[in-house]
Amino acid sequence: MRKCWGIILAFIVLSSCKKEEKTSSKNLVQIKAEKPIPKIYGFNLEKFDVLRDTIKNGDSFGKLMLQNHVDYPKIVKIAEEYKDTFDVKRIKVGKPYVILKAKDTTEKAQIFIYENDRINYTVVDLRDSVQAYTSKKKVKYVQREIAGVIKNSLSIDMDSLGVDYNVTLNLSDIYAWTIDFFRLEKGDEFKIIYNERYISDSIYAGVEPIKAAFFKHKGKPIYAFPYVTDSLKNIMDYFDQDANNLRSTFLKAPIKFNYRLSSRYNLRRRIAYYGYKVRPHKGTDYAAAIGTPIVATADGTVTESRRRGGNGKYVKIKHNGTYSTQYLHMKAQKVKKGEYVRQGDVIGWVGMTGNTGGPHVCYRFWKNGKQVDPLREKLPSAKPIADSLKTDYLAFIEPIKSQLDCIEYEEPIKEENENLITLNQENGTNQNQSYND
């Protein structure tokens, strides 16, 4: 499968960076406007009266059928004989359905179509001998190539390019270990290749996972390509242009989105509240709205989940013999002592318990029993690509990488990128931020 894709792409990019291809692929999506065919779900609309609705509270398959003049034995037959295909007890409120009725005075339902999701549907054919089957709408994949430059924030700039928010989330997940998206700089560049899904040629139905990405942060380019390293367990990771795993054992931040780095680890911090005396800050503060989920930055076992003094409600996780992490001032904890958590699991919510000037999580990073600055630590990466796969990987990424390289930016790139966007410099005094310990 992966190979096929590689070959197809190889053909596309064989004559690298062709101009005529670029014009339509940028902000594209040209959907062919075809003459409407009087068909839905394969049925000729001219032969039926169509009733479209969604399942309401109190609706049941039996009730809908009786309302549409279907005989009771047929309803029972579907419920009993086609349970594996269509479990009538499992219809859900809010799901769309269509009833095709006879165009005569009986107005009897002939066909019942239930939409399991945007793509899959179930057909119950009530004509003659009753039967039920499932089917899929035709899905078309349209490849999009995006290139942008950071002017505001990743989500704002992606949005202005008309990119689905799920792609933004996907991108921030891929780079969660290598780039702190809230410390981006103006002028940072990104490129993405991904597929959009369309049902029946024109109805937008979301996106597929990112096929390839490029991010240039502080002048350093980091590519990302998905690659299956264990086809038996179907383990897929994103790797860079040198086959390094983009995943690290630790996430960059304990909050996934919408935070502001409000105070860094600083041993010489002076605070007005304490008469400008030195009050070392051994944590990293992430300000976020109360109730924002806090996630474990790595797999581990919860060693503490309690409330104590200035720390307020907090959780401490032991990851291995070397590292532990701690998360302070929670509104509430979600995990208990002794629980095993996975990286990215929600362990609590941002609050203001303990000594704090505003809602934030104070993230403490312990290495061999001492608190260190996680933003300065060189943290271990996750499993690299096995040597036996490396050649295959590099061959696989070659055409996609050239495709990425060929995507043009809409505006010329300026060479100055000194502007920090969201980072507050925290090297000196810190008056209005949280003074917690």
Where along the sequence are the contacts to Zn ion (CB under 5 A)?
Answer: 283, 285, 362
| DSSP letter (8 states) at residue 107 | -
CB of 329 to Zn ion, least distance (A): 8
Q: Which is nearer to Zn ion, 226 or 348 (CB)?
A: 348
| C-alpha 221 chain-centroid distance | 22
Place of tokens 């076992």: 301
With respect to Zn ion, which residue has the nearer C-beta, 123 or 287? Answer: 287
- Give the pair of three-digit tokens for residue 34: 């075809």
Nearer to Zn ion, 403 or 434 (CB): 434
Cβ 275 to Zn ion, closest distance in Å? 19
For the bound state, the minimum distance from the C-beta of residue 227 to Zn ion, rounded and expressed in Å, comes to 38
CB 412 to Zn ion: min, Å: 41
Nearer to Zn ion, 212 or 362 (CB): 362
Looking at the Cβ atoms of 352 and 362, the one nearer to Zn ion is 362
The least distance separating Zn ion from the CB of residue 363, rounded to whole angstroms, comes to 7
Select 237 or 285, whichever has its Cβ closest to Zn ion. 285
Backbone phi, then psi, for 212, in 5-degree steps?
A: -165, 145
Element (H, E) at 66: helix 61-67
CB of 286 to Zn ion, least distance (A): 9
Q: How far is the CB of 355 from Zn ion (least distance, A)?
A: 9
Q: Of 229, 278, 210, 248, give the one whose Cα is nearest residue 382.
A: 248
User: What is the per-residue DSSP string for 315-379?
Assistant: EEEE-SSSEEEEEEEEEEE---TT-EE-TT-EEEEEB--SS-SSSEEEEEEEETTEEE-TTTS-P
Q: Which is nearer to Zn ion, 246 or 255 (CB)?
A: 255
* Pick from 264, 173, 165: nearest CA to 207: 165
Q: How far apart are CA 358 and CA 165, in angstroms?
A: 29
d(C-alpha 260, C-alpha 286), whole Å: 5
Reduced to 3 states, what is the DSSP secondary structure of residue 273?
A: helix
User: Following DSSP, what letter does each residue of 358-369 receive, concatenated?
Assistant: SSEEEEEEEETT
